[in-house]
């Protein structure tokens, strides 16, 4: 068992080696003619410029937080915080580099058919997938080995937890900033290009086309990668923190037999999941058909193999770690909890697929509603998203119940640690055990989308665009599936971190109440329920403001550049201007929403820990529901549009198509900006509360002390009036 952190770190290195192998494989592929290479290079330049500016801005926040953490928690915690932030940013940059290299190569491969193109796009996505999983796991294991096992520093587990806080900081700003960028460009390109000018999507005449393609990479690749980096690291950290804070462990107690089993189990699952993902990646083989069902089967084969292998390995690991320990009743219970999480994650993904794929009735119903205009189209998408929440909540409830039952089967209670709560914590790892494959499949989507854009801008044969459109349609579904995994794991991880926070407050001499009859808790619940709506409003409004600037610029260029709208030979749009507009607007707009997740928990905790407890609970529930609603509604609108573009309900250019474009425009910030950021929001607030618990105890909150003193004085005055 002592070797498990080292084995997990070794598996992370194998994942990174596989990412390097896929990178070389994609680089060796043919990028196409000069025009395609030029377009690829322009997208690369725009993406690199954005990430450079974004990371420069975020680095100021990271440095400020590191100083605060060093002063209030420990210098070592500041170090791990910076490590988490740096590795998360690195994973996003590497993934972006691979995606912007794979797009033109996917377009060229599409000339040979969908099988070849799918293979190139998947391998480009796999660079992102295994970079995210490999760097996240390697960094976490390195921090654990150094600060817990080797140095045995004071407050060792607080130091390890700060790694997750660093990852969360980058994830939140990357998701919000990248999401605002990509949707501002997308909305601007669609409304002026498709609706007003009546030109095709990704038309080279549209000044916003390059910016739109850049956005796919900075938002849906780099932003998504940072999101799942944080989710994956958080899912491993949550049970480790839970055990440490529940049992009051320091580094010196981590090697005790029972403690090491509980601490090592999540690392062992991560180890098995990484190996399973590596094996599964070689089972993805292209299909010769452009039918999305056939393509989906080929793409998901690797994920299914990885999940099966991870499930089998989990049973063996559970018996190995807990079978000979009398403190545990039935090790199979913990295997059930993990596998239950894995199955529920898969089921959440399948639910998302049902509501967002054009093979099923919800999307086709929205497509038929376009016949009566944009209003009914929007109503149909909203209804579909809301219905999907019900199914997802039921599935999550089943998953929590199974995980709790499995944990209780394994052990009743060890110290203050309940078996059921530990089961819920490790279930989150089950959902993300195969992160390498989940992210690979998700990152495939933006590459396919870019490939279609390059095919259009390079004026290739329509048969190439037919192949890339089929790949892109599947990509919308895979993105929704990945978001299902991410938000499901976020709910379970946040619950485990919340329990860790409760134990940490008690250990620091405070107390935490979740009795809704208490006014502090009641107020906190409503404040927490409100915040995801406020966060969504701010990010959607940010997209709207940035998109307005983009729309005005595109209109200006069509108006002022002679021959641009007509497509006169030799006349080109000023794409760099549009890239600059999206970059500047998105970076300015990300600051306030991103800061809320850090500032509000600190402010509320300073006032009252009970208010903070209610706040975290309220935000968890509404944040999960909003995330599901937005992701699935947006995905449904997008694929309804693509269903029409495939020739149904009048096809491209019809009134139905214009209505679908409006619906897709509404859905863009839902599915790619506000929705995906929700799962980060609920975890960031919880992990901030946990990492900074020393500020959030009742005894250290001046306002709480004043209130208590005032209350006591009032009671005395009533008993002894003058």
pLDDT digits (tens, 9 = 90+) for 152-172: 888 788 888 889 888 888 887
pLDDT band, residue 480 (cuts 50/70/90): low
Whole-prediction pTM: 0.84
- DSSP class of 199: P
Compute the average pLDDT of residues 417-423.
89
- The per-residue DSSP string of 308-324 comes to HHHHHHHHHHHHHHHTT
**207, 575 contact by CB (below 8 A):** yes
Task: Name the pLDDT band for 257 (thresholds 50, 70, 90).
Answer: low
Which pLDDT belongs to residue 82? Answer: 94
For the residues 69-81, what does the mean pLDDT come to? 86
- The confidence score (pLDDT) of residue 717 equals 47
Average pLDDT, the chain: 83
Helices (H), 282-373: 292-322, 332-356, 361-369
CA separation for the pair 628, 388 (Å, rounded)? 7
pLDDT at residue 715 greater than cutoff 50: no
Residue of higher predicted confidence among 605 and 34: 34
Helices (H) and strands (E) in the chain, counts: 22, 2
Provide the 8-state DSSP code for 288.
S
pLDDT value at 204 more than 70: yes
Q: Mean pLDDT lowest for which of 121-125, 241-245, 509-513?
A: 509-513
C-alpha span between 98 and 521 (Å, rounded): 47
272 pLDDT above the threshold of 90: yes
Least confident of 240-254, 436-450, 698-712: 698-712
H/E stretch holding 521: helix 519-560
Q: How many CB atoms lie within 10 A of CB 537?
A: 12
74 Cβ partners below 8 Å, 6+ apart?
A: 153, 154, 155, 158, 159
What sign for the dihedral angle of Cα 21, 26, 29, 31?
Answer: negative
Instruction: Say what the pLDDT of residue 286 is.
Output: 67
The pLDDT value given to residue 692: 62
Of the candidates 596, 483, 501, the residue with the CA atom closest to the CA atom of residue 169:
596
Over range 397-423, report the average pLDDT: 90
Lowest mean pLDDT among 109-113, 538-542, 684-688, 703-707: 703-707
- The conformational region for residue 651 under phi > 0 = left, psi -120 to 50 = alpha, else beta, is left
Residue 492 has pLDDT above 90, yes or no: no
Contacts of 638 (CB under 8 A, 6+ apart): 356, 476, 664, 667, 668, 671
Query: CA 144, CA 12: separation in Å to the nearest integer?
Result: 14
Distance CA 581, CA 214 (A): 12
Tell whether the model's pLDDT for residue 701 goes beyond 60: no
Q: Tell the residue number behind the tokens 């997802």, with chain if given.
A: 392
What is d(CA 22, CA 94) in angstroms, rounded to the nearest whole number?
A: 12
pLDDT band at 711 (very low <50, low <70, confident <90, very high): very low
Mean pLDDT value across residues 186-207: 73
Rg of the chain, C-alpha, whole Å: 25
Nearest to 54 by CA among 93, 84, 82, 99: 93
User: Which residues are within 8 A (CB) of 10 and not within 5 positions of it... i.e. 6 or more apart?
Assistant: none
Task: Please report the DSSP string for 701-713 in residue order.
Answer: -HHHHHHHHHHHH
Q: What are the structure tokens assigned to 147, written together?
A: 């600060």
Grade residue 184 by pLDDT with cuts at 50, 70 and 90: confident
Lowest mean pLDDT among 80-84, 185-189, 230-234, 414-418: 185-189
Tell me the pLDDT band of 394, cut-offs 50, 70 and 90: very high
78 or 575, which is more confident:
78
**8 Å CB contact between 4 and 118:** no
Average pLDDT over residues 497-514: 74
Indicate the pLDDT class of residue 146, thresholds 50, 70 and 90. very high
Q: Where are the alpha helices (DSSP H) in 411-434?
A: 419-432
The residue ranking higher by pLDDT, 58 or 203, is 58
Question: Tens digits of per-residue pLDDT, 596-632?
Answer: 877 888 788 777 788 888 888 899 889 889 988 998 8
Contacts of 539 (CB under 8 A, 6+ apart): 176, 179, 180, 589, 593, 669, 673, 674, 677
Give the C-alpha separation, 207 to 552, whole Å. 11
For residue 372, the 8-state DSSP code is G
Cα 36 to Cα 38: distance, rounded to the nearest angstrom? 5
Local structure of 596: helix, strand or coil: helix
**Contact in structure between 91 and 130 (CB atoms under 8 Å):** no
CA–CA dist 279, 130 (Å, integer) = 12
SS3 611: helix
pLDDT of residue 199: 72
pLDDT of residue 210: 79
Residue with the bigger pLDDT between 594 and 698: it is 594
- Report the pLDDT value the prediction gives residue 700, as an integer from 0 to 100: 42
Give, as one character, the DSSP assignment of residue 509. Answer: T
Q: Distance (Å, rounded) from C-alpha 282 to C-alpha 661?
A: 37
> Which residue did the predictor score with more confidence, 290 or 423?
423
pLDDT surpasses 60 at 329 = yes
Q: Does 321 or 169 have the greater pLDDT score?
A: 321
What's the pLDDT at 284? Answer: 83
**Cross-strand bridge partners of residue 253:** none
For residue 155 the two structure tokens come to: 């407050």
> What residue has token string 């520093």?
153
């Amino acid at each position: 068992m002592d070797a498990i952190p080292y084995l997990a770190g070794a598996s992370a290195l194998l994942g990174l080696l596989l990412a390097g192998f896929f990178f070389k494989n994609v680089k060796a592929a043919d990028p196409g003619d000069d025009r395609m290479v030029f377009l690829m290079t322009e997208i690369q330049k725009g993406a690199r410029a954005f990430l450079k500016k974004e990371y420069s801005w975020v680095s100021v926040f990271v440095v400020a937080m590191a100083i605060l953490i060093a002063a209030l928690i420990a210098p070592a915690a500041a170090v791990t915080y910076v490590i988490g932030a740096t590795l998360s940013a690195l994973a996003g940059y590497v993934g972006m580099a691979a995606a912007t290299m794979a797009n033109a190569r996917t377009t060229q491969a599409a000339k040979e058919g969908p099988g070849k193109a799918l293979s190139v796009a998947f391998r480009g996505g796999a660079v992102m997938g295994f970079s995210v999983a490999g760097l996240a796991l390697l960094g976490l294991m390195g921090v654990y080995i150094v600060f817990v096992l080797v140095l045995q520093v004071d407050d060792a587990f607080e130091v390890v937890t700060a790694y997750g806080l660093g990852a969360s900081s980058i994830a939140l700003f990357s998701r919000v900033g990248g999401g605002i960028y990509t949707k501002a460009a997308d909305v601007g390109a669609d409304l002026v290009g498709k609706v007003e000018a009546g030109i095709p999507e990704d038309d080279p005449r549209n000044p916003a086309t390059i910016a739109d393609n850049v956005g796919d990479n900075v938002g849906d690749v780099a932003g998504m990668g940072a999101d799942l980096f944080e989710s994956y690291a958080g899912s491993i950290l949550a049970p480790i923190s839970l055990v440490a804070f529940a049992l009051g462990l320091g580094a010196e107690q981590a090697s005790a037999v029972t403690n090491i089993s509980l601490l090592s189990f999540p690392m062992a699952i991560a180890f098995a999941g990484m190996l399973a993902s590596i094996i599964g990646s070689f089972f993805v083989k292209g299909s010769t058909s452009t039918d999305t069902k056939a393509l989906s089967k080929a793409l998901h084969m690797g994920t299914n193999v990885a999940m099966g292998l991870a499930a089998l390995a989990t049973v063996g690991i559970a018996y190995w770690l807990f079978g000979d320990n009398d403190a545990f009743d039935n090790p199979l219970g913990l295997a059930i909890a993990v596998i239950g999480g894995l199955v529920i994650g898969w089921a959440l993904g399948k639910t998302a697929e049902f509501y967002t794929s054009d093979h099923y009735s919800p999307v086709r119903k929205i497509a038929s509603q376009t016949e009566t205009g944009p209003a009914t189209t929007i109503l149909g998408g909203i209804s579909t998203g809301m219905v999907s929440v019900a199914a997802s909540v039921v599935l999550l409830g089943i998953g929590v119940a199974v995980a709790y039952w499995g944990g209780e089967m394994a052990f009743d209670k060890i110290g203050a640690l309940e078996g059921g709560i530990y089961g819920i914590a490790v279930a989150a790892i089950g959902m993300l055990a195969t992160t390498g494959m989940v992210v690979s499949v998700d990152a495939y989507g933006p590459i396919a989308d870019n490939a279609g854009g390059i095919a259009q801008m390079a004026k290739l044969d329509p048969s190439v665009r037919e192949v890339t459109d089929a790949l892109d349609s599947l990509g919308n579904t895979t993105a929704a599936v990945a978001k299902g995994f991410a938000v499901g794991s976020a709910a379970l991880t946040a619950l485990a971190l919340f329990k860790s926070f409760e134990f940490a407050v008690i250990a620091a001499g405070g107390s935490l109440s979740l009795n809704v009859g208490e006014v502090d808790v009641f107020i906190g619940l409503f404040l927490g329920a409100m915040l995801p709506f406020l966060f969504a409003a701010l990010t959607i409004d940010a997209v709207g403001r940035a998109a307005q600037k983009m729309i005005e610029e595109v209109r200006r260029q069509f108006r002022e550049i002679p021959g641009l709208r007509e497509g006169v030979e030799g006349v080109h749009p000023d794409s760099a201007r549009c890239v600059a507009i999206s970059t500047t607007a998105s970076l300015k707009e990300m600051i306030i929403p991103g800061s809320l997740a850090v500032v509000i928990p600190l402010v509320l905790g300073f006032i009252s820990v009970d208010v903070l407890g209610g706040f975290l609970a309220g935000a968890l529930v509404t944040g999960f529901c909003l995330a599901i609603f937005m992701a699935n509604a947006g995905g449904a609108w997008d694929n309804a549009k693509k269903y029409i573009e495939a020739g149904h309900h009048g096809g491209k250019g019809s009134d139905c198509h214009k209505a679908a474009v409006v619906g897709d425009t509404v859905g863009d910030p839902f599915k790619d900006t506000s929705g995906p950021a929700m799962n980060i929001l609920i975890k960031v607030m919880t992990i901030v509360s946990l990492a900074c618990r020393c500020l959030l105890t009742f005894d250290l909150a001046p306002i709480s002390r004043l209130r208590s003193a005032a209350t006591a004085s009032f009671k005395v005055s009533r008993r002894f009036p003058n």
